[in-house]
Amino acid sequence: MAQIRLPKLISDNMVLQRDQSIKIWGWASPKEKITLILNQKNFKTITSENGKWEIILPAQSAGTGFQMVLKGKNEIILKNIAFGDVWLCSGQSNMTITMERIKERFPEDISSANFPAIRYFFVPTLTDLNTSKDDFPQGEWKTATANNILSIGAISYFFAHDLYQKYQVPIGMINSSVGGTPIEAWISEEGFKKMDDYQKIISQNKDTSYVNSLNRRLASTPSNRPIIKDLGIVEHWESPDYQEKGWRNFNIPGYWEDQGLKDLNGVVWFRREFEVSKNWLGKSVKLYMGRIVDADEMYVNGKKIGNITYQYPPRRYEIPADLLKEGKNTFVIRVTNTIGKGGFITDKPYYMTANGDEIDLKGTWKYKVGEVFQPTNLSGTNGLVKQNQPTALYNAMIAPVLPMKVKGFLWYQGESNTAFPEKYDGFITTLITNWRNLWKDEKLPFFVVQLANYQDVNYTPMESNWARMREAQNKALTLPNTAVTTTIDLGEWNDIHPLNKKDIGKRLALSAQNIAYNEKSIVHSGPSLKSQVFENDKVILTFDNVGEGIVSKDGEELRWFSIADYDKKFVWAKAHIIGKDKIELWNETVKTPKYVRYAWQDNPEGLNFYNSANLPASPFRTDSENLDDAKSWKGKKCSVVLTYDDALNVHLDNVIPVLDSLNLKGTFYLTASSDAGTKRIIDWRKAASNGHELGNHTLYHPCDATREGMSWVKPEYDLSKYSLRKIQDEIKMCNTYLNAIDGKNKRTFAFTCGHKKVIEGEFIQSLASEFIAARAVRSQMHSFEEQNLLDMDCYSMEGTSGEKMIELVKEAQKSGKLLVFLFHGVGGEHGLNVSKEAHSQLVHYLKEHESEIYIDTMLNIAEHIERLKK
């Protein structure tokens, strides 16, 4: 600390943000006088007591070749400084992939790379669970020239290249990305201030003893895997002299689980001889073995020529010039796989080449198992993966960049969050707002790369987590100065790391030109849905961002549109362009279409819906709900719950088909001893699988026979004569019955006849741990704040008209309260009955006003109330 020390970002070849005052900072001994010289001007400061100093420089115009001198007890000279535009690139592995990975795809871009005004700084993988850091342990600025180009991030380079070519302004790219990481790891602690569950995790992770206990648990877990030596290594299966015994045929490419080796985790060896002619000798030969899951070692004529330890990199090896011989040559591959399918990815290059000649390596090889890994059970003992923890990457890899002024952000991440894409709705806007707050500029441009098409193509409409994630990424567009770059046409079905990073970079550059450089005439987005209109049996869609108009890229009918009625049973639609910004959809089987989806698949391969700027439309759906989990009634005016008591046949026959056709969910309180409760379990199981809640209405529906109008209650089911133990047992038995139907443990309860007392007094509190909520029977509505989850009120319907029920809903809409309906018979079977027509009128009103009414099951409503009240 006795000498001036600079952060790694302040170094030779750096780019500093032009046209803004900028900070130069560092460390020295306390009270040390620091002088900075730039453009023959001196700037001075004195180090503080804690050894830190900073100097604010006035705004500088764009340019290169500057020198900066810093003097204190020592002198530092920084050379080749540029003033230009600085962009922070972050995310996971697709953002880290370098030009080296794609050199075969874009050889001309590699050979022509000579742009010393484009500079690149890569941040090494670092984590910190406790506090934000102020520097990196290593790192340097590199120029985009021949000697550096292969190590520069591909998306960063292509983005910077297009901006530099257009504006002739130096571009600095700071790449702070880590493969396989979730978005939560990149958000600061301040960003989680309204998320109690994450605050708890962050606090736990700061407890060193807690973190160490997790890791000790992992270290102390005994392995069930016996030590088995790989027979291939023992017997030297890689040797050309090895005599094959017991080897079988295998077709490369392909997975071994698909070719006779079921559920094998272990080591498999592959072997084949190839004829090589004399003119291949003495030359360096390139060998391409596609991609291999997971790790491989490559041998040619007994010599190891390379290895890769994980599945994602392409297998590209060089065979030394003196290794091949004329005639037969032995190739051996040792493949190790520990989870999932092992083997060779299809639709990848498998060949070797020299001087333009090629030998195809696909086809029949021989294989033999060298080692089988025995199953292990390490559940819950994985320790703490720091790079996946909230704030861990922000603290170590983003915080040190904060003193740097930046032009904006590029973000390519999401693959690691696809298991729970709905959570990403809030995460992406949290990240953007968090970073803008940290840089103290709410207008900083933020550009998101949407997930590309990936995995198998499915030719029927279906649900898709990847599609849902793309929808969540589009939530970025709810904030100003944002763009989402659609890459739905740039992916590869068999590779989570598609090679076409050039078009991603170019599309990001278009967004920068439009937003960051204010060239509003530049089209930077594909068509985006503006509105939909229903005309008889057709849907007319109108789009923004069409440029000169919507086009079919291949001239064929637009693909990957589907439509559905309220039942959400989607079918493919015929799609015709009927105007510059309009498309017409229909399918003869859907008479009254209500919803549209476009490209709602993991991999809608071959889509052709573009605008005149050759940019594809982003996937979308019109059947999603805009719910805000942080607000009462999830951001809507009020909430309505439809409940049905006593497990009646009419519930299964009259109610559920109507609810399913409108995609509404109800809560059905089952009495296990009822006729439909005992004889139609399969139907109740189907209802539960469709999202309806099965609630507890006890085993035999006991009611208080002493109450007025209760003479019908059988003596053996007189609740007033029940002991506390008896009602507890019957309720728990009903829970067991319900669990056997739907497999769930969380449940709500409905008081039979609304009665709450047994001999000893009220019983529900003794069962509070069994239920999230309990429904009573009083005709009252309550606000969110007034809700008592173990005593929720409802309106019991008896001969009520549809109009009267709708009036109750309108009252809830006006007052902002929760309205719970209680139905018994719907179209008969019970003394308390409403007509099918009245019930239908109500639920259709609810569906038509779904945008302002939160309609859900009692369980989901109760859990939402419980979460927010915490």
Residues 817-847: tens digit of each pLDDT:
999 999 999 999 999 999 999 999 999 999 9
At 476, the pLDDT band (50, 70, 90 cuts) reads very high
Question: Whole-angstrom Cα distance, residue 664 to residue 679?
Answer: 25
Q: What is the pLDDT of residues 62-75, one digit of tens each?
A: 999 999 999 999 99
Q: 481 and 512 in contact (C-beta within 8 Å)?
A: no
Please compute the mean of the pLDDT values over residues 334-359 and round it to a whole number.
Answer: 94
Average pLDDT over residues 634-653: 96
Residue-level pLDDT at 400: 98
Chain Cα centroid distance, residue 509: 24
pLDDT at 570: 96
More confident residue, 355 or 726: 726
Number of helices followed by number of strands (H, E) in the chain: 18, 48
- pLDDT of residue 219 exceeding 80, the answer is no
Beta-ladder partners of 303: 300
Length of the chain: 870
Q: How far apart are CA 300 and CA 866, in angstroms?
A: 64
Confidence category of residue 381, pLDDT binned at 50, 70, 90? very low
Residue 869: what pLDDT? 86
User: Is pLDDT at 1 greater than 80 in this prediction?
Assistant: no
- What is the per-residue pLDDT for 380? 45
Residues 53-64 pLDDT 10s? 999 999 999 999
pLDDT in tens, 149-202: 999 999 999 999 999 999 999 999 999 999 999 999 999 999 999 898 899 999
- The answer, yes or no, to whether residue 777 has pLDDT greater than 90, is no
Q: In the predicted model, is pLDDT for residue 382 greater than 70? A: no
Tell me: cis bond preceding 253? Omega within 30 of 0 counts.
Answer: yes
What digits encode the pLDDT tens for the residues 487-507?
A: 999 999 999 999 999 999 999
Q: Bigger pLDDT: 413 or 627?
A: 413
- Decide if 168 contacts 517 (C-beta within 8 A): no
Positive or negative torsion for Cα 545, 550, 556, 559: positive
Q: What pLDDT, on the 0 to 100 scale, is given for residue 377?
A: 54
* 467 pLDDT higher than 60: yes
Nearest to 82 by CA among 45, 38, 112: 38
What is the percent of the chain where pLDDT is above 70? 97
Using 50, 70 and 90 to split pLDDT, how confident is the model at 378?
very low
* Predicted pLDDT of residue 212: 84
Provide the pLDDT for residue 215: 73
pTM of the complete model beyond 0.75: yes
Residue 284 pLDDT > 90, yes or no? Answer: no
Among residues 326, 325, 330, 364, the alpha carbon closest in space to that of 344 is found at 364
pLDDT score recorded for residue 247: 96
- Asked whether the beta carbons of 826 and 805 are under 8 A apart, the reply is no
The residue type of 529 is: L
Q: Is the pLDDT of residue 218 over 70?
A: no
Residue type, 648: L
Residue 791's pLDDT is what?
94
pLDDT digits (tens, 9 = 90+) for 694-709: 999 999 999 999 999 8
